[in-house]
């Protein structure tokens, strides 16, 4: 299986991007309340994306979100893998492999934090840091009940608030990052897109 859809590199699904120096004024930083409200208002969304892996490889594809609890990555050729979060589980399906899809609990990836029914970034011990890097407000968050699974760096632009990229660091310290090309919202997705079984492509739904 290509490293971009192994459990290690997708313990979240994202990229290795340099952070800009922290030199901006505090008023440039978006509040945790504003960011929580933004994520809670994100019911359905889609974007093309580029994923960067720690081994230097990268891949592209389409991302689909249906909150709460559902997300789908469709990787473009030559990878053509599909990763689906739904029904409390995540499956990694490599169409080039004869092996069954790999499955693990959604709560074992920091992506669970942004797919929660109610996001509250001010929850005790969830946010490890909250900074402004000169371009983005960066929130480093972890599940306070599962801190050992790693953490996610969420990067937001302002005016209007938008999620632009994230970096997941898993329990082994491996980082993977996803850069979004621009989330579009308000569309309708069939629940079948997020079924955690051997999937069909979203274009065939």
Q: What is the pLDDT of residues 21-51, one digit of tens each?
A: 444 455 589 999 999 999 999 999 999 999 9
What tens digit of pLDDT does each residue of 76-87 get?
988 879 999 999
Domain ranges across the chain: 3-182
Q: Each residue of 136-191: pLDDT tens digit?
A: 999 999 998 888 899 999 999 999 999 999 999 998 999 999 999 999 999 999 99
Instruction: Give pLDDT, residue 26.
Output: 53
Phi-psi category of residue 114: left, alpha or beta, with phi > 0 → left and psi -120 to 50 → alpha: alpha
CATH assignment, 3-182: 2.50.20.10
Rounded average pLDDT over 57-73: 96
Q: Residue 53's CB: how many other CB atoms inside 10 A?
A: 23
pLDDT of amino acid 145 = 87
């Amino acid at each position: 299986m290509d490293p971009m859809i192994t459990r290690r590199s997708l313990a979240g699904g994202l990229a290795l991007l340099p952070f800009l120096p922290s030199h901006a004024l505090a008023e440039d930083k978006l509040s945790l309340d504003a960011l929580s409200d933004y994520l809670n208002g994100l019911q359905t969304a889609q974007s093309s994306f580029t994923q960067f892996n720690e081994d230097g490889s990268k891949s592209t594809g389409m991302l689909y979100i249906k909150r709460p609890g559902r997300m789908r990555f469709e990787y473009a050729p030559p990878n053509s893998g599909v990763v689906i979060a739904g029904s409390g589980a995540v499956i990694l399906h490599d169409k080039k492999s004869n092996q069954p899809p790999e499955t693990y609990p959604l709560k074992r990836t920091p992506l669970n934090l942004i797919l929660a029914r109610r996001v509250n970034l001010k929850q005790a011990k969830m946010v490890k840091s909250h900074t402004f890097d000169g371009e983005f407000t960066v929130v480093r968050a972890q599940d306070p009940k599962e801190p050992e699974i790693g953490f996610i760096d969420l990067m937001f632009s302002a005016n209007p608030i938008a999620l632009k990229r994230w970096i997941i660091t898993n329990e082994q310290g491996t980082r993977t990052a996803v850069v979004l090309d621009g989330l579009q919202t308000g569309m309708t997705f069939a629940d079948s897109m997020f079924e955690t079984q051997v999937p069909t492509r979203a274009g065939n739904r």
